[in-house]
Amino acid sequence: MAFDFDLILFLALGIPGFLLELFKQFSKISSGKTDPHSKSKDHGTFHFIWLIVICSMGASIHFVRLEYGLKIFSGTFSRCIVAFPISFTLIMTGHLIRRQAIQQLGEWFTMTVRVNDKQPLIQSGWYAKMRHPSYTGVLMVLIGLGLLINNWLGLFGIVIPPTLIFLYRIYIEEKELREHFGTTYAEYTQKVPAKLIPHLF
């Protein structure tokens, strides 16, 4: 089967975003800004997240190429007028939210789960609306790419596995944050109950 337009757009938007994220994360590592005295407690989820995302994108492409699953939008009109604008909006907004969330953490942003003794609990910006906005941004991008690939199995394949590993990562992060900040973090969770979606979850 030849690549169709949906898959071409998926690759055109997905691969550059993936490479940019990879570059940013490894630039963070090579910059030496991660505190060497703070021990990582992410239980290997940093590498597992990348593995899951890569496998999910590969599986989604496989589903489309072999014509597994039903198309989300069948007509050209619905794809051009509905699917593409929604997809682009989700992808761009997701990138923006993640970028701003990382900027709001500043020097305290790390790829692995670790807390520095001097680290404050950020409660402003996106962190005043949800506790893990950077993951929200990533999931918005994945949903946008899933809609762009225009295949239900592809959408589920690219969204559900990363969501599950993110939820596990959030569980690990919040356990560490509760241990480090104590009642301050407990009060923060009461003030900002949403983990990923304001007022919903």
The per-residue pLDDT for range 12-58, each reduced to its tens digit, is 666 666 666 655 655 554 444 445 555 556 667 777 788 888 888 88
Query: H or E stretch including 157?
Result: helix 152-181
CA distance 114 to 125: 21
CA distance 148 to 153: 12
CA distance 101 to 88: 20
Range with lowest mean pLDDT among 22-36, 109-123, 157-171: 22-36
CA distance 98 to 109: 12
Whether the predicted pLDDT of 72 surpasses 90: no
Query: H or E stretch including 22?
Result: helix 5-31
DSSP 163-200: HHHHHHHHHHHHHHHHHHHTHHHHHHHHH---SSSTTT
pLDDT for residue 22: 59
Give pTM, 2 decimals.
0.78
pLDDT for residue 3: 47
pLDDT for residue 65: 75
In the predicted model, what is the mean pLDDT of residues 135-158? 89
Say what percent of the chain tops pLDDT 90: 31
